[in-house]
Amino acid sequence: DVKVTQSSRYLVKRTGEKVFLECVQDMDHENMFWYRQDPGLGLRLIYFSYDVKMKEKGDIPEGYSVSREKKERFSLILESASTNQTSMYLCASTIQGLDYGYTFGSGTRLTVV
């Protein structure tokens, strides 16, 4: 069974902390994505990557960075966490060709206090 695994289901961090969200997929997918999901706003794309060491900004990259050193792992970094980054974060992966659909992780609910 193919899987996308996010390292934490729940996180509570303090304002100003550097936060790492990890995502690992076991499907040998080229494409990986980070979204945040907020009530009334839907899923918004933060960053994505089409290959190792490649990254592209999504619609809301401010305050975030990413790292993809290995094909199976895509990390989201909050450089200095702020309360407006409290959200559900979803990682997804897909093979080349977006028509095949995304496989999502179970999400990380991050609270910044």
Q: Which tokens in the block code for residue 28? A: 């040998």
Q: How far is the CB of 35 from other proteins (least distance, A)?
A: 8
| Binding positions for other proteins, rule: CB under 8 A | 4, 9, 35, 40-45, 90, 92, 98-107
Residues for the chain: how many in total? 113
CB 79 → other proteins: shortest distance, Å? 25
CA distance 50 to 31: 4
User: Which one, 48 or 64, has the nearer CB to other proteins?
Assistant: 48
**How crowded is the C-beta side of 72, counted as CA atoms within 13 Å?**
9
Q: Which residues contact 14 (CB under 8 A, 6 or more apart)?
A: 81, 112, 113
Nearer to other proteins, 13 or 44 (CB): 44
What are the helix (H) ranges across 6-107? none
For other proteins, the closer of residues 67 and 103 by Cβ is 103
**Least distance in Å: CB of 90 to other proteins?**
5
